Amino acid sequence: MVGTMAKIDDSVKKVPELRFPGFTDDWEERKLGELGSVAMNRRIFKDQTSENEEVPFFKIGTFGSKPDAFISRELFEEYKLKYPYPEIGDVLISASGSIGRTVVYQGEDEYFQDSNIVWLKHDNRLDNKFLKQFYSIVKWQGLEGSTIKRLYNKNILDTDISIPSTIEQNKIGMFFEQLDDTIALHQRKLDLLKEQKKGYLQKMFPKNGEKVPELRFAGFADDWEERKFKDILKTHSSRSYLAGVSENGEYEVIQQGNKPIVGYSDGEPFTDYKDVTLFGDHTVSLYKPKSPFFVATDGVKILSADNFEGNYLYTTLERYKPEPQGYKRHFTILKNQDVWFTENMEEQQKIGSFFKHLDETIALHQRKLDLLKEQKKGFLQKMFV
């Protein structure tokens, strides 16, 4: 575990706030250029790539993910012999685009595009795992407050770094590697849950030309009905419920987008919240209120439907909402969307409850993931100088 120590005057002793037990020496201040040099690959041109070769090729945009194309084994081996090439564990840096984004080279056969992707060929005073974490919080020399859209060799080499002994570097690097693995595991679980939800939304509503869904709760056999949303939805005027945020407000103020709660306000809120869903006209976002609320703009549509259970309406809107088309009024598109639904209230409740619990599970995993990421940020601040 990580050890703690008393706060020390940084002007006297250069050490982090949080430290493993047994280490007391000052960290040394260096420039990255004192510890190594910047390396980059030979450029690959488009006419040297194809979809039928063996070795994956990456441009800056797909750095660390899906390859853009492939190059021949012969060309790959020739370039590895003639030009610099990363070794297993080297930390590759994005020098343009998402400046400073990193990937650890794992030793697989893959080729990275020229000077858009660089790495530091360093001596034995630096540990790669430590270096990767340093890159995640570094303020590159000459880039702070700059409009430069590229990380040049000089920016890297002139950047300050404080380093402890290689043994302490290794302990720090291993600690964060384990933390990163835990974060990645939680991210995979979250992604899987979201994919499962997409699948359920497809299979628990009828496909085109069908009158019943592929997956259904036992005991229900009636055909589903088909309508347009405009024949089902009721819109409630939001004018009386527009509000700004107040300092000690009691009721949620809802905006469009992924962060719906903009703040709180006092006054006379919309109280009949249980069976309504809020639809973001510009963002195609959905929000199911759990208490009385206000709205931040008239672009937040307050929707309900007769003979629709609240959670089922929310799920139906999720299933049939339109794809975003820029800054448009998507409610007009939504109203003309064909929609299949069951009139059986018990079936509606079962479906609504199923997706509500699934959303709660997804939200729980998202909170765990966000907490882990916040914990990592805290450790990075306290375990580096």
In a domain, 123, yes or no: yes
Token output for 80: 């590895």
Q: Calculate what percentage of the chain has a pLDDT beyond 90.
A: 71
Calculate mean pLDDT across residues 69-91: 90
Yes or no: say if 39 and 121 are a contact pair by the CB < 8 Å rule. Answer: yes
Domain total in the chain: 3
CATH of the domain at 378: 1.10.287.1120
Co-location of 211 and 93 in the same domain:
no
pLDDT score for 284: 95
- 334 with 230, same domain: the answer is yes
Note whether 88 and 129 are within 8 A (CB): no
Question: Could you tell me if residue 196 is inside a domain?
Answer: yes
> Is 311 a member of any domain?
yes
Cα–Cα distance measured from residue 311 to residue 217, given in angstroms and rounded to the nearest whole number: 16
Q: Are 262 and 371 within one domain?
A: no
Q: Which two tokens stand for residue 152?
A: 């040049």
Considering the domain architecture, whether residues 179 and 101 belong to the same structural domain is answered as no
Q: How confident is the model at residue 115 (pLDDT cuts 50, 70, 90)?
A: confident
- Lowest mean pLDDT: which of 63-72, 210-219, 309-318, 375-384? 63-72
**Residue 210 shares a structural domain with residue 346:** yes
Q: What is the pLDDT of residue 2?
A: 47
Query: What's the whole-number mean pLDDT along residues 27-40?
Result: 94
Q: What is the 3-state secondary structure (H, E, C) of the chain?
A: CCEECCCCCCCCCCCCCEECCCCCCCCEEEEHHHHEEEEECCCCCHHHCECCCCEEEECHHHCCCCCCEEECHHHHHHHHHHCCCCCCCCEEEECECCCCCEEECCCCCCEECCCCEEEEEECCCCCHHHHHHHHHHCCCCCCCCCCCCECCHHHHHCCEEEECCHHHHHHHHHHHHHHHHHHHHHHHHHHHHHHHHHHHHHHCCCCCCCCCCCCCCCCCCCCCEEEEHHHCEEEECCHHHECCCCCCCCEEEECCCCCCEEEEECCCCECCCCCCEEEECCCCCEECCCCCEEECCCCEEEEEECCCCHHHHHHHHHHHCCCCCCCCCHHHHHHCCEEEECCCHHHHHHHHHHHHHHHHHHHHHHHHHHHHHHHHHHHHHHHCC
Do 47 and 154 share a domain, yes or no? yes
Please indicate, yes or no, whether residues 130 and 49 belong to a single structural domain of this protein: yes
In the listed set 163, 191, 211, which residue is the last one of a domain according to the structure? 163
| Stated pTM of the model | 0.85
Looking at 163, 182, 208, the residue that finishes a domain is: 163
Residue 13 falls inside a structural domain: no
pLDDT computed for residue 148 by the predictor: 65
Kindly state the average pLDDT of the residues 64-75.
87
The reported pLDDT for the residue numbered 234 is 96
Does pLDDT of 57 surpass 80? yes
Using alpha carbons, list the distances in angstroms from residue 366 to 18, 284, 289, 314, 362.
27, 21, 19, 20, 6
- What CATH number corresponds to the domain at position 281? 3.90.220.20
The residues near 5 (Cβ < 8 Å, ≥ 6 apart) are 15, 17, 18, 19
Q: State both tokens at 166.
A: 């290689």
- 102 in a structural domain: yes
- Give yes or no: residues 147 and 50 share one domain: yes
Ramachandran region of residue 51, left (φ > 0), alpha (ψ -120 to 50) or beta? alpha
Give tens-digit pLDDT for 258-291. Answer: 899 999 999 999 999 999 999 999 999 999 999 9
Query: Is 6 among the domain residues?
Result: no
7-11, 176-180, 309-313: segment of lowest average pLDDT: 7-11
Evaluate whether residue 287 is within a structural domain.
Answer: yes
Q: What's the rounded Cα separation, in Å, for the pair 7 and 27? A: 15
Rounded to an integer, the average pLDDT of 28-52 is 90
Q: Residue 242 is part of which domain span?
A: 225-341
Residue (of 212, 217, 191, 175) closest to 348 by Cα position: 217
Residue 5 has pLDDT above 50, yes or no: no
Which pLDDT score is estimated for 41? 86
**Cβ atoms of residues 301 and 282 within 8 Å:** no
Q: Give the domain-ending residue among 163, 188, 209.
A: 163
Same domain assignment for residues 57 and 128: yes
Q: Are residues 324 and 350 in the same domain?
A: no
Residue 210 has pLDDT above 70, yes or no: yes
In this prediction, residue 369 carries a pLDDT of 97
Rounded mean pLDDT of 91-117? 84
Question: pLDDT tier at 121 (50, 70, 90 boundaries)?
Answer: very high
The length of the chain, given as a count of residues = 385
Q: At what angle do helices 310-320 and 345-383 cross, to 10 degrees?
A: 70
State the average pLDDT for the chain.
91
Average pLDDT over residues 144-172: 88
Triad 56, 62, 63: Cα angle to 5°: 80
* Rounded CA separation 37/118 (Å): 10
- The answer to whether residue 153 is domain-embedded is yes
Q: What is the pLDDT of residues 283-342, one digit of tens each?
A: 999 999 999 999 999 899 999 999 999 999 999 999 999 999 888 889 999 999 999 999
State whether 239 and 335 are in the same domain: yes
The pLDDT confidence band at residue 13, using thresholds 50, 70 and 90, is: low
* Interval 171-189 mean pLDDT: 97
pLDDT grade for 1, boundaries at 50, 70 and 90 = very low
Do 136 and 253 lie in one domain? The reply is no
